[in-house]
A = this chain, B = another copy of it.
């Protein structure tokens, strides 16, 4: 027998993981061991509408295959995370916030036609949670909750080793659990959701309100222009400098995220709560420790407090594509 070159790609067993976001599309080719063997990235250009964006998804997937030197014939399926509520069984995106024109778009069937492989579509935060569960901070546990703090606050729920989607495929919307009755207005139109106090959007709003009130703060220097981007890096710099306004606003966000975790643990008693998203990545344990403390103080079951792990996500931006690839192997069923 001729020895096989280690550079020889296998000719089967690859999966495509695709993460469709409001600003960028990520695609990865993942091998049977869950390793990424090629990746590509494109701007979403949502203004092109569903047809244009779907074409860009296909192009990104194609680029990832080129990078990986894997042909579509070697791909068993694609798993896609997309924003907004999705019918997981049919692959239809009901609506996608930040993507104009996405109104009941049959993303799964359309990508299947373009790519020629089976395609599964699920909510992007569910997919990120699945990625962290299968290959990140939740490896080996059975019950996990993912909380992602970015421009919004999203979540996902793993029960008995599987992504739990709920009756209307609407489970995991932990960002819209109300923690302050009649509290600050949320992007969803309601009041007092966690997202309305703890998302980067809410943090920015509170900080800008403080600046407008004339509070002296380093952030005034970091944000020179009114429309300068308020990034997680700016939050990190202000926190490192112990800027009082930022400490106050972040402290508030941490308190309510802690309450949220306490509430979720009292309802679901998971083994692990994974925190991901830009703010968490930028601040790390500085962000998480106060959340942990508040959460544990609110656990009704005070035995084995430390058994419930509250940990940072491990995969960063790759959670979505790895979760997408994991979706290919998951059973299609209700619940």
Contacts and interface: CB of A to CB of B under 8 A. Distances in A.
Interface of A: 85, 94, 141-143, 155, 157, 159-161, 164-174, 176-181, 188, 190, 255-256, 259, 262-264, 266-271, 297-298, 300-301, 303-304, 307-308, 334-335
Contacts of A181: 179-180, 255-256, 259
B269 A166 contact: yes
Given A85-B301, A174-B266, A178-B259, 19 more contacts: A85-B303, A159-B159, A160-B335, A161-B335, A164-B268, A166-B270, A167-B270, A168-B303, A168-B307, A168-B308, A170-B300, A170-B301, A172-B267, A173-B269, A176-B266, A177-B266, A177-B267, A178-B262, A179-B181
B304 A176 contact: no
Nearest to A176: B300
Contacts of A142: 167, 334-335
A172 B168 CA distance: 21
Nearest to A188: B300
A181 B160 CA distance: 31
A166 B334 contact: no
Most buried by B among A169, A179, A256, A304: A179
Contacts of A164: 159-160, 268
